[in-house]
């Protein structure tokens, strides 16, 4: 078209006017034809493609329908199988439950039958009880009638007796009771005096001989000693040397020994303070050696303390072995030997505990020998009876309990353990030897000069002793004599007769035993005297 137009424009020939009209028309027709041909071609292509796609879709749908049918069949089959399984499971559970219910029903039936039998037996017993109750009621009625008849007879007899005697029932009863009490007290006093006389005649002499023989044969040294708590110094200048520059020497001493040093204004004296007697002894010996040596500084102090400790261990062991050898008690555990040695530095009421234990062992052995008992057991139990005091500052509990635990720990026999635990009456003695140990302990601690007590406690004990005696009816005055080992009681002769003095002495002795703590024994001496006074005019 462009070429045609170019041709006409290029040519010099004249162009008719209709040509210019036809050319646009032809151009429009050509363009429309092109569009129509293109549309037909496109529609044909589209119809062909749509047909192919529809065929594929139909094929896919057919395949999906077949798969769906198969899945549906499988699902239905599985559902049927699951339903059958659930049904079988429920049927099995139902059968089991029915079986269990049947068993329970059988048991309930058995119990019901047993209860029915018991009910029948109870009904029979109740019938029997009703019959017996009726019989008892009838018998009670008869007894009541007889009792009423007896009461009437007794009342008549009592009225007749009161008329004849001229006394009421209560007056006659009181006279009879007073007479019986008086006779009983006289008889009791006579029996008590007779028993005491027989006991004195037969037992007191023998006991006296045994105790006297034991004390004479042991013949131990005086055991009243005190633990040394002060160290004498050659001069007051030594205090400054013990203190050291800025107190380094005294700190070294306290740290090494575990004992507090008190240096005050007291001239030429250093006071040692500590609960452990062995530590105080170590500190005392250390200070004495340092003073003698003259070299006082921390290094020398530590060196000297270690040396004294080694020497003290040897001393403790030697003292324990000496005590074991002296008493003839062998086969003791090495730790028991050490504990015995520690008792050398322990005191009780001023009495050295190791010497006291040795003395008790002597006395117990002699008493056991006189009575024909086990001497070895008595001596062993007596030697170890205060072993708990070696560590009672470090362990809680009484020294009896601590000692018994130590004896058990080191494989002592149960008889020895009982001797230790029972020597102050806290535990019941199992053997006669345990009683002998307690008696020997009292003998050693109660003899004059063996122990001391504070003045305050001593005065309180004497006051309490006189207070107990004065609280009894008929006592005029009482006096505690012989350092509280005897109480002399003067009674009113018009209120207390000779027979009742025996009962009064016994009652006061029992009261003293229950309310007072004292070493040894206290003699209760009741004195009754009648004085007749007249005047010559």
Are 439 and 300 within one domain?
yes
User: Hey, CA dihedral for 506, 511, 514, 516, is it positive or negative?
Assistant: negative
Residue 504: give the domain boundaries: 455-527
d(CA 343, CA 388): 9
Are 244 and 375 within one domain?
yes
Residue 202 placed within a domain = no
Residue 184 placed within a domain = no
- pLDDT of 135: 86
d(CA 497, CA 212): 35
Least confident of 41-50, 74-83, 217-226: 217-226
d(CA 480, CA 486): 6
Are 428 and 466 within one domain?
no
- pLDDT of 286: 86
Residue 86 placed within a domain = yes
Are 151 and 297 within one domain?
no
Residue 10 placed within a domain = yes
Boundary-marking domain end, from 446, 473, 493: 446
pLDDT at 106 over 50: yes
Boundary-marking domain end, from 410, 426, 446: 446
Q: Length of the chain in residues, anyone? A: 537
Are 238 and 118 within one domain?
no
Question: In this prediction, what percent of the chain has a pLDDT beyond 90?
Answer: 2
d(CA 224, CA 218): 16
CA 315 to chain centre: 37
Q: How many domains does the chain have?
A: 3
β-sheet bridge partners, residue 232:
269
Mean pLDDT, range 267-279, rounded to an integer: 78
Are 73 and 104 within one domain?
yes
How many DSSP H helices and E strands does the chain contain? Answer: 16, 8
Mean pLDDT, rounded, of the chain: 79
Boundary-marking domain end, from 446, 472, 493: 446
- pLDDT of 532: 73
Are 14 and 158 within one domain?
yes
Any idea what DSSP says for residue 204? I
Q: Do residues 459 and 480 lie in contact, with contact meaning Cβ atoms separated by under 8 Å?
A: no
pLDDT at 428 over 60: yes
- Least Cα distance to 276 among 402, 420, 389 occurs for 389
Are 143 and 251 within one domain?
no
Residue 182 placed within a domain = no
CA 204 to chain centre: 43
pLDDT at 165 over 80: no
For residue 376, the domain's CATH number is 1.10.3210
DSSP SS3 for 385: coil
Kindly indicate the confidence band of residue 261, based on its pLDDT and cuts at 50, 70 and 90.
confident
pLDDT digits (tens, 9 = 90+) for 292-307: 888 888 888 888 888 8
d(CA 197, CA 193): 6
Residue 221 placed within a domain = no
pLDDT at 223 over 50: no
Kindly indicate the confidence band of residue 211, based on its pLDDT and cuts at 50, 70 and 90.
low
pLDDT at 362 over 80: yes
β-sheet bridge partners, residue 231:
270
Least confident of 19-33, 117-131, 413-427, 471-485: 19-33
Q: Which two tokens stand for residue 283?
A: 């500190």
What is the 3-state composition of the chain as percent helix, strand, coil, each rounded to the nearest 5?
70, 5, 20
pLDDT at 233 over 60: yes
- pLDDT of 220: 45
For residue 512, the domain's CATH number is 3.30.300.20
Q: What are the CB-based long-range contacts (under 8 Å, 24+) for 300-303? A: 301/249, 301/252, 301/253, 301/256, 302/252, 302/256
Q: Do residues 19 and 8 lie in contact, with contact meaning Cβ atoms separated by under 8 Å?
A: yes
- pLDDT of 228: 44
Are 480 and 368 within one domain?
no
Residue 363 placed within a domain = yes
pLDDT digits (tens, 9 = 90+) for 47-57: 666 567 777 77
- pLDDT of 222: 38
Q: 254 or 219: which carries more pLDDT confidence?
A: 254
Best mean pLDDT range from 36-50, 271-285, 380-394: 380-394
pLDDT digits (tens, 9 = 90+) for 364-422: 898 888 888 898 999 999 899 888 888 877 778 888 889 899 999 988 899 999 999 88
DSSP SS3 for 392: coil
Q: Do residues 360 and 326 lie in contact, with contact meaning Cβ atoms separated by under 8 Å?
A: no
Residue 468 placed within a domain = yes
Are 257 and 123 within one domain?
no
- pLDDT of 319: 87
Are 461 and 441 within one domain?
no
- pLDDT of 32: 75
Question: In this prediction, what percent of the chain has a pLDDT beyond 70?
Answer: 78
- Least Cα distance to 496 among 469, 523, 521, 465 occurs for 469
Are 234 and 157 within one domain?
no
């Amino acid at each position: 078209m462009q070429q045609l137009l170019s041709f006409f424009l290029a040519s010099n020939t004249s162009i008719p006017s209709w040509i210019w009209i036809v050319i646009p028309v032809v151009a429009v027709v050509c363009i429309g034809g092109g569009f129509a041909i293109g549309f037909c071609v496109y529609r044909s292509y589209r119809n062909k493609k749509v047909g192919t796609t529809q065929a594929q879709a139909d094929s896919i749908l057919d395949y999906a329908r077949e798969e769906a049918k198969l899945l549906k069949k499988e699902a239905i089959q599985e559902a049927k199988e699951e339903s059958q399984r659930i049904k079988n499971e429920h049927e099995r559970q139902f059968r089991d439950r029915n079986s269990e219910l049947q068993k329970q029903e059988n048991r309930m039936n058995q119990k019901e039958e047993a209860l029915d039998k018991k009910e029948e037996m109870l009904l029979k017993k109740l019938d029997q009880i009703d019959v017996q109750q009726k019989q008892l009621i009838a018998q009670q009625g008869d007894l009541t009638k007889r009792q009423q008849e007896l009461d009437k007879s007794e009342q008549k007899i009592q009225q007749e007796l009161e008329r004849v005697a001229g006394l009421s029932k209560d007056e006659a009863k009181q006279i009879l009771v007073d007479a019986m009490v008086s006779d009983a007290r006289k008889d009791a006093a006579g029996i008590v005096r007779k028993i005491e006389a027989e006991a004195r005649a037969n037992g007191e002499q023998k006991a006296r001989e045994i105790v006297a023989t034991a004390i004479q044969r042991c013949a131990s040294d005086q055991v009243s000693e005190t633990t040394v708590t002060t160290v004498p110094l050659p001069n007051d200048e030594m205090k400054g040397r013990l203190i050291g520059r800025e107190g380094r020497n005294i700190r070294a001493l306290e740290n090494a020994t575990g004992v507090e040093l008190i240096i005050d204004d007291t001239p030429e004296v250093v006071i040692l303070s500590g609960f452990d007697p062995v530590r105080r002894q170590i500190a005392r010996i250390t200070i004495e050696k340092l003073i003698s040596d003259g070299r006082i500084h921390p290094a020398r102090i530590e060196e000297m303390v270690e040396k004294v400790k080694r020497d003290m261990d040897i001393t403790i062991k030697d003292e324990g072995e000496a005590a074991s050898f002296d008493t003839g008690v062998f086969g003791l555990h090495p730790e028991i030997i050490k504990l015995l040695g520690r008792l050398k530095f322990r005191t009780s009421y001023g009495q050295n505990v190791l010497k006291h234990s040795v003395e008790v062992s002597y006395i117990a052995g002699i008493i056991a020998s006189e009575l024909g008992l086990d001497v070895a057991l008595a001596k062993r139990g007596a030697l170890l009876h205060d072993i708990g005091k070696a560590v009672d500052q470090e362990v809680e509990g009484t020294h009896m309990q601590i000692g018994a635990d130590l004896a058990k720990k080191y494989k002592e026999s149960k008889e020895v353990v009982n001797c230790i635990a029972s020597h102050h009456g806290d535990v019941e003695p199992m053997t006669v030897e345990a009683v002998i140990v307690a008696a020997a302990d009292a003998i050693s601690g109660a003899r004059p000069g063996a122990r001391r007590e504070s003045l305050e406690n001593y005065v309180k004990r004497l006051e309490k002793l006189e207070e107990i005696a004065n609280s009894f009816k008929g006592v005029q005055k009482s006096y505690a004599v012989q350092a509280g080992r005897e109480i002399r009681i003067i009674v009113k002769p018009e209120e207390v007769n000779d027979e009742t003095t025996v009962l009064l002495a016994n009652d006061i002795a029992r009261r003293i035993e229950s309310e007072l703590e004292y070493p040894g024994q206290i003699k209760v001496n009741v004195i009754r005297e009648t004085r007749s006074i007249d005047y010559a005019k």
